Amino acid sequence: MEASAQKAGGYLSLARLSMAEGAGMVAALVFGLSLFVPWFTTSDNPNSKIDSAGTGPNSEATAWETFSILQYALLAMAIAPFVLAWIVARGHKLTWKPGEVTMIVGITAFILVICNGIILGKPDPNIEVGLTYGYLLAIVTSLGMAVCGFIRQATYVDAKKPPGVI
């Protein structure tokens, strides 16, 4: 164990975590749960189906059922803030500001969710596949992770020294 970890409260100190990290973990937990609630819904049109989820007309599909590889990346993004909080609570010396990685993970999750539901994932209008509450929940919680990471890393601004000062 490092000497700095011993001085600052032992092996694991939750006092090292900020409220922003706690809120980021809550957002990540809800984001992870949103993968298992309906994201997409189909109308009564017989052509309205989601083949990857095996759904037909008048049904719903979760992100976990719909995507073949993306759901694992999104699940990893939901786990990342917990791993990063563990690293901070252990008192490891970081090469990045605490909160930066959570912010980047949140932004990446937001972009992937937007791209796979609105920008790139929007089917032909006559198929009538719509978005439901799980999709909105994923958007809000991914933005929540990004904002919480931004707030956390903003508290670690290094004081700038004037030129010529050692």
Rounded CA separation 125/128 (Å): 6
The bridge status of strand 60-62 relative to strand 129-131 is unpaired
Domain ranges of the chain: 11-37+68-123+136-154
Q: What is the pTM of this model?
A: 0.78
Q: Does residue 2 register a pLDDT over 60? A: no
Higher pLDDT, 97 or 65: 65
What pLDDT, on the 0 to 100 scale, is given for residue 124? 63
Q: Does residue 166 register a pLDDT over 70? A: no
Q: Which of 63, 56, 75 is nearest to 37 (CA)?
A: 63
E strands in the chain: 38-42, 60-62, 129-131
Tell me the pLDDT tens digit for each residue of 100-120.
Answer: 888 899 999 999 999 887 777
Average pLDDT score over residue span 34-49? 82
Run of H or E including 103: helix 100-114
Higher pLDDT, 77 or 59: 77
- Rounded (10°) angle between helices 100-114 and 70-90: 170
